[in-house]
Amino acid sequence: MKFDNVALLLPDRTVGFGTLETSGSRISKIELATPPSPSPSTSCSRLILPGLVNCHGHTAMTLLRGTGGGLPLQRWLEEAIFPIEARMTPDDIRAGVRWGALEMLAGGTTQVIDMYDFPDAGEAAFESVGLKASVSRVGLSFVPGRLADCIAFTRAHPKAHVCVHSEYLTDEPFCRALADANNRELKRPVHVHVSETEKEHRACLARHGQTPVAYLAATGLFDCGGFAAHGVWCTDDDFRILKEKGVVLVHNPSSNMKLGSGFARIPRALELGVTVALGTDGCASNDNLDLFEEMHLASLIHKGLAKDPTVLSPWDVIEMATFGNRLAVGAAADFCVVDLGRLHLRPALDLPNLVVHSMHASDVVQTVVDGRLLYDHGTFPTVDLEQTREAFDARVRHCHGI
């Protein structure tokens, strides 16, 4: 594929203008106009940015979009979410994941780190759509046989990560045994919810005399790196542990606000050298899978809280959202194309600022994953949208008993 006369967000935090070509699954050529083209507002109608990476998702929760609105986290889980999840089958997961994967592709997301039940069905559904995904068997100590299941699943699925849901749903022997197996044999990143609410953070301190991050680190679960979602109540020492262990802090601003959990101290985490990424969380607590919205919120929240407009530059936020994806020759051809002709995107004079503060997921017109055009101006060339919609609607009726 060849994209002419496009603006490009480059890895050295500059904006280039020129041509990008792909060959197979890789970016094969980037040719920049020299001297640089005039202002993109007059010469460029499209922007290519690296594919967005959703580093904390529960994609099949598209089936539960909007469920339990207005409830705080524990009541939301126990009264609204868990009863429906108890009815779910692999058919539900397949339909919910396919629907969510399409929503993400249409919004420029090319990859997700997912945490949900029936990961076999989930992984197959992601593969059927083409969105890159790492799934996991969720570690929960109250499910009989789950520890052996987690180890066996991870062993059999090379792209899977290891996962414990959280300190509060996974007891210490489980965490230690999974960590031992992982550090000895599997060597995968871990995915876990940490310090999402003040109540959770304090309960862990009362149970273990340690914060969730310190406790999980002590079990060995962070020894192969990973993704710690939320971290709203993390201390400076927690951030130091995450940095030392190479664990990414995943910021989920929409979910944290909708559930009234608070604001993660992202500028402080960055100051202490923690790698920060963005996630949507499940779309029952968001209620969409739009990473442009997460970028916008992350930028505004932390400027407002710090009373300082220099906190979190647009490039800082873009790097959080694109998490390692880059427009460079030889890199995976994972990117999206945005139509700069939209009313709210003119003039396009400062593109990084425009991406973070003006753009919506719906401005994406094409999404490419591993060199395959998976979303193209409202259509999905490799997916039967009508059939996917019918399957999704049927499984929504099943889950909600309607």
List residues binding Zn ion (CB under 5 A).
281
We find the least distance from the C-beta atom of residue 250 to Zn ion, in angstroms, to be 9
| In the complex, minimum distance from the CB of residue 263 to Zn ion, in angstroms, rounded to a whole number | 17
Q: Which is nearer to Zn ion, 281 or 319 (CB)?
A: 281
Q: Rounded to the nearest whole angstrom, what is the least distance from the CB of residue 282 to Zn ion in the complex?
A: 6
Task: Please give the helix or strand (H or E) that residue 247 lies within, else none.
Answer: strand 247-251
User: Which lies closer to Zn ion via its Cβ, residue 230 or residue 395?
Assistant: 230
CB-nearer residue toward Zn ion: 58 or 146 = 58
The set of residues, in sequence order, having a beta carbon less than 8 Å from that of 365 and lying 6+ positions away, is: 46, 337, 338, 339, 376, 377
Closer to Zn ion by Cβ: residue 275 or 286: 286
Q: How far is the CB of 229 from Zn ion (least distance, A)?
A: 5
Alpha-carbon dihedral sign for residues 114, 183, 186, 111: positive
- Whichever of 103 and 281 has its CB closer to Zn ion, that residue is 281
CA 321 – CA 289 distance, rounded (Å): 13
What's the min distance (Å) between Cβ of 356 and Zn ion? Answer: 23
Closest CA to 350 of 39, 6, 19: 39
Q: Is 300 exposed, middle or buried (0-12, 13-18, 19+ CB in 10 A)?
A: middle
Cβ proximity to Zn ion: between 92 and 281 the closer is 281
Of the pair 23, 74, the CB lying nearest Zn ion is at 74
Task: Kindly state the DSSP code that residue 57 receives in the 8-state scheme.
Answer: E
- β-partners of residue 368 are 335, 373
The whole-angstrom separation of Cα 158 and Cα 145 is 21
CB of 182 to Zn ion, least distance (A): 20
Would you call 219 helix, strand, or coil by DSSP?
coil
Residue 176, H or E segment: helix 172-181
Token pair in block for residue 275: 């790698």
Answer yes or no: are the C-beta atoms of 201 and 176 closer than 8 Å. Answer: no
In this structure, are residues 48 and 9 in contact, taking their beta carbons and an 8 Å threshold?
Answer: yes
Residue (76 or 99) nearer to Zn ion, CB: 76
What is each CA distance from 101 to 72, 161, 243, in whole angstroms? 27, 19, 30
DSSP 373: E
CB of 281 to Zn ion, least distance (A): 5
Q: Which of 301, 300, 317 is nearest to 232 (CA)?
A: 301
Q: How far is the CB of 285 from Zn ion (least distance, A)?
A: 8
d(CA 351, CA 47): 8
Phi/psi of residue 164, nearest 5 degrees: -120, 140
Q: Residue 281 or 293: which CB sits closer to Zn ion?
A: 281
Shortest distance (Å) from residue 189 CB to Zn ion? 16
